[in-house]
Structure 1
Amino acid sequence: MVDRDHSAFPARFWFDRFKAALPRGSTILDLGCGGGEPIARYLIDQGFHLTGIDKDAAMITLARTRFPRETWIHADMRTVRIEAQFEGVIAWNSLTQLSRADQAAMAERAAHWLKPGGRLLFSAEADRDWDSSGYRRGSLYHADLGPADYSAAIAARGLIEMAHVAEDPACNGAGVWLARKP
């Protein structure tokens, strides 16, 4: 059980850009929502409605306790079935534990869940352990797609990349993408 760090919100710049074109009251899907801190809280405080998905039941319970008016789903983002569409989809620090194939497939899922004009915001840690030697020593292995692969996955699903930073220092060196559905 790992809740997102809510002692600071250095990524606020990205979330401000993400929500700038979304009308107050818009619905946002948060993939890998954790316990809802700090992202859900920030967006709820800005007047948005959240649907969060996380595979950790304890995190979903925590999010439900913190924000009972929002929708929280205990499920795997790779297989969950949601018929609704949203003005925004977020996958912040949540793709890293997926395989490369699953990471690429999430672009298709996000595009399906977005309404026309909707925004996609996601981050992905830089894959600094290409040979998985750290995994063999006991650390988590991050098998992220490279920046060009993420950009290609977005474009292949008909999304338009609006902004991208390969390694944003304000986000612990993670890559960040902001895209929209035409």
Structure 2
Amino acid sequence: MPSRATVLDIGCGTGQPIAHHLTEQGCIVTGVDSSPEMIAMAKDRQPAGDWLIADMRTLSLSRTFDGLLAWDSFFHLGYDDQRRMFAVFRRHANAGAALMFTSGPSYGEAIGRLEGEPLFHASLDGAEYRTLLDAHGFAVVAHAVEDPECGGHTIWLARLR
């Protein structure tokens, strides 16, 4: 991304640690999350950011960004909602924009736990993610499955062609 890149953090939560890191690197961050409580915490922790309460599935900000990030957020959506998100990504991407998101390692659903509460996770398979990226103008730059260097996350990095 260019210096002073604009980044859309989709499902930003509290803005920690990702948005904080991006801001330290000189990025101009806009974070969206459906939780008013999470957005309030993000505003307190990162006052320089632009923090918005919004549902990622219907996001329409009428502006584009140099980078899009859906870290530990996108995979809380069901299969069909994930498929529809690729149009949302495209709509918010500048020419040449980077897109990074996390997914599961393979097709399936799981229920995890966060602070004792059940938490839904779903993932398409890798071939379908590749097809969706390609259909929306993104080329895969890198893909790591359960990367041990990154806490076991499955990570996708793509660039808008």
Say yes or no: TM over 0.5. yes
What is the number of equivalent residue pairs in this alignment?
A: 157
1:25 aligns with 2:8: no
Q: Does 1:140 align with 2:139?
A: no
Distance across 2 between alignment mates of 1:70 and 1:139: 30
Q: What SS is found at the alignment partner of 2:31?
A: strand
CA deviation profile, 1:28-60 (whole Å, cap 9, x unmatched):
000010111110111100100000000111110
CA distance in 1, matches of 2:99, 2:86: 9
1:96-138 CA-to-partner distances (Å, cap 9, x unmatched) read: 210111111112211111100110011113358x476x58xx8
Question: What is the alpha-carbon distance in structure 1 between the residues aligned to residue 121 and residue 106 of structure 2?
Answer: 6
Cα distance in 2 for residues equivalent to 1:54 and 1:177 = 20
Unaligned ranges ≥5, structure 1: 1-21
Q: Within 2, Cα distance between the matches of 1:143 and 1:45?
A: 31
Superposed CA RMSD: 1.9
Instruction: Provide the rounded CA distance (Å) in 2 between the counterparts of 1:23 and 1:143.
Output: 32
AA partner of residue 71 (structure 1): D
Unaligned runs of 5+ in 2: none
Q: 1:86, CA displacement in angstroms?
A: 0.2
Residue 178 of structure 1 aligns with which residue? Answer: 157
What is the SS of the residue equivalent to 2:119? coil
- TM-score normalised by structure 2 residue count: 0.89
Letter in 1 for 2:62: E
Give the CA deviation at 1:170.
2.8
Determine the structure 1 residue equivalent to 2:25. 46
- Answering whether residue 100 of structure 2 is matched by residue 100 of structure 1, we say no
Structure richer in strand, relative to its length: 2
Where does residue 84 of structure 1 map in the other structure?
A: 63
One-letter amino acid matched to 1:156: A
Q: For residues 50 and 86 of structure 1, what CA distance do their matches in structure 2 show?
A: 9
Task: State the secondary structure of the residue aligned to 2:14.
Answer: coil
Could you say if the C-alpha distance between residues 100 and 142 of structure 1 is closer, same or farther in structure 2, counting changes exceeding 3 Å? Answer: same
TM-score normalised by structure 1 residue count: 0.79
Task: Tell me the secondary structure at the aligned position of residue 140 of structure 2.
Answer: strand
Cα distance 1:131–1:47, how it changes in 2: closer, same or farther (>3 A)?
closer
- Native 8 Å contact 2:8 2:30 kept in 1: yes
CA distance in 1, matches of 2:130, 2:35: 28
Amino acid across the alignment from 1:152 = T
The alignment partner of 1:142 has SS state of strand
- State the Cα distance separating 1:173 from its structure 2 match: 2.8
